[in-house]
Structure 1
Amino acid sequence: MIPFRLIARLDIKGPNLIKGICLEGLRVVGNPGEFALEYYRHGVDEILYMDAVAALYGRNSLGELLRSTARNIFVPITVGGGIRSADDVRAMLRCGADKVAVNTAAIANPALITKIAETFGSQCMVLSIEAKRRASGEGWEAYVENGREHTGLDVVDWARKSVDLGAGEILLTSVDRDGTYKGFDVDLVEAVCRAVPVPVIASGGMGSPEHLVEVVRNSGTSAVAMASALHYRRCTLEDARSSLAEAGVGIVPHNEWPDTAGSDG
């Protein structure tokens, strides 16, 4: 059985950690490196950096942040936003990333999924899906550009296809729930988990430890990405671990990570 993972999601704009609601109305939270180090010290299992404005500039600008993070933090790091080619992936890995999350470019060119998986391994290729429930209430559509642009793709069908093409993991963000503290879209997460044999990271909506337990018990997800709940201390990593343990969920053992602040490696 694969242990459940708690992932800190940090959305970045320029030098700042930012957060919005439904991927809009972005507000500055603080210094992303400092927040990442704090989460590492409290036993987070992975770090997820998402460049929120990469699509605007056509490139990912998190290289220096990645290099700094990799010198001080020793858990897997995933980076997303503006990844458009195998060369982009290579550059991110050289800066210290372990995995890349790809959304827009994968939809525009699905063969990129296979290219990344074959070149760097399927474990490196994380498909990022921004999902919105259809107006009819039946199913979900995949979006790009921070949930602003339609693709016409059904989320579940796209998830299946991406795995067939080589995606080794799916980052599933509910745009409708993002930053609302209303809880995960459990139906969405369950539908994708049932459709694919790879790990699914649930993202968007967590406001309390109870929401975490609910999505774990009812969807089959193997990880959650926590953002606002962590940044604004509505739920600490200790709270999350305690709730999961009480619910009988197998989690990655919490070690006391070394204090590496100021270290060069």
Structure 2
Amino acid sequence: MPAKRIIPCLDVKQGRVVKGVQFKDLRDLGHPVDLARRYDAEGADELVFLDIAASLEQRSTRQAWVRAVAHELSIPFTVGGGVSSVDDARGLLRAGADKVAVNTAAALRPALVSELADAFGRQCVVAAVDVKRDADLGWRVVLKGGTEPTDRSALEWLQELNELGAGEILLTSMDRDGTGDGFDLPLLEQATELPIPLIASGGAGLEIHFLEALEHGADAVLAATLFHEGILPIARLKAYLAQNDISVRISHDL
């Protein structure tokens, strides 16, 4: 069985890493290059970099930021934010990204996912999906950094993304984001029925929350505040997961 992955997330705005609760009240948590260097040394399996203002500002991710972060990394690096074309993605890959994440642009023009998979390979395409609980849809897809609700069912959209050629899903529960109350396990139970790798995001507060998400089928778990603020070191989390029979990569240098 493939090892489960631990992934810190850098939400970047105006060149700084920020984090809030349910996508609001953002706090400055440092410089992305400094954090990237730290996570590479601490044994993170991958790093995700999201330019959270790119879609709202109708631009692509700043390639200079990506280049600076990539220079510090020896681990896989996913970059997203404002990717709306094959050319946008190519620029990020040339700047040092290993994978590109698409969200709003893919929802508005689903063919983008297939275009990216055809151009770079399915393994290069991460579909980021932000969702909120909804009485009618179960979970509703939300776009543009959590500011624009849609009429699309999250689970139906995940199925479509799989068929379009996405190589992986980054699924964020906006209801749980930044709360520390744990991942949305009912959401994960349904989402992980699809034959596509899934990264669980939104809600991690304790070691057991990561364990629960992985036991509910997630292939990887993503967090921000816990890692950025040093509340839960990655080495300690991996040791805990290994003690609970979860396969993880543990560096002997840590």
**TM-score (normalised: structure 1):** 0.93
Q: Is the 8 A contact 1:43 1:255 kept in 2?
A: no
Deviation at 1:256, TM superposition (A): 3.3
Q: Hey, what does 1:229 align to over in structure 2?
A: 226
Farther off after superposition, 170-179 or 227-236? 227-236
Deviation at 1:183, TM superposition (A): 0.6
CA distance in 2, matches of 1:11, 1:255: 29
Deviation at 1:57, TM superposition (A): 1.8
Q: Hey, what does 2:248 align to over in structure 1?
A: 251
Q: Hey, what does 1:216 align to over in structure 2?
A: 214
Deviation at 1:146, TM superposition (A): 1.6
CA distance in 2, matches of 1:255, 1:59: 41
Deviation at 1:122, TM superposition (A): 0.4
CA distance in 2, matches of 1:24, 1:166: 32
Deviation at 1:142, TM superposition (A): 0.7
AA partner of residue 110 (structure 1): P
1:96-175 map, 5 Å: 96-134=96-134, 136=135, 139-175=138-174
Q: Hey, what does 2:19 align to over in structure 1?
A: 19
AA partner of residue 2 (structure 1): P
Q: Is the 8 A contact 1:116 1:125 kept in 2?
A: yes
Q: Is the 8 A contact 1:207 1:229 kept in 2?
A: yes
SS in 2 for 1:177: coil
AA partner of residue 239 (structure 1): R
CA distance in 1, matches of 2:99, 2:253: 24
1:7-86 map, 5 Å: 7-86=7-86
Q: Identify unmatched segments of 5+ residues in structure 2.
A: none
Q: Hey, what does 1:176 align to over in structure 2?
A: 175
CA distance in 1, matches of 2:11, 2:253: 26
Deviation at 1:242, TM superposition (A): 1.2
AA partner of residue 213 (structure 2): V
Q: Identify unmatched segments of 5+ residues in structure 1.
A: 258-265
AA partner of residue 204 (structure 1): G
Q: Is the 8 A contact 1:41 1:256 kept in 2?
A: no
Q: Is the 8 A contact 2:238 2:250 kept in 1?
A: no
Q: Hey, what does 1:206 align to over in structure 2?
A: 204
AA partner of residue 22 (structure 2): C
**TM-score (normalised: structure 2):** 0.96
Farther off after superposition, 95-104 or 235-244? 235-244
CA distance in 2, matches of 1:15, 1:150: 26
SS in 1 for 2:71: helix
Deviation at 1:137, TM superposition (A): 7.5
Tell me: CA distance 1:255–1:47, structure 2 relative to 1, closer, same or farther (3 Å). farther
CA distance in 2, matches of 1:256, 1:58: 42
Q: Hey, what does 1:263 align to over in structure 2?
A: none
Q: Is the 8 A contact 1:49 1:79 kept in 2?
A: yes
Tell me: CA distance 1:137–1:242, structure 2 relative to 1, closer, same or farther (3 Å). farther
RMSD: 1.3
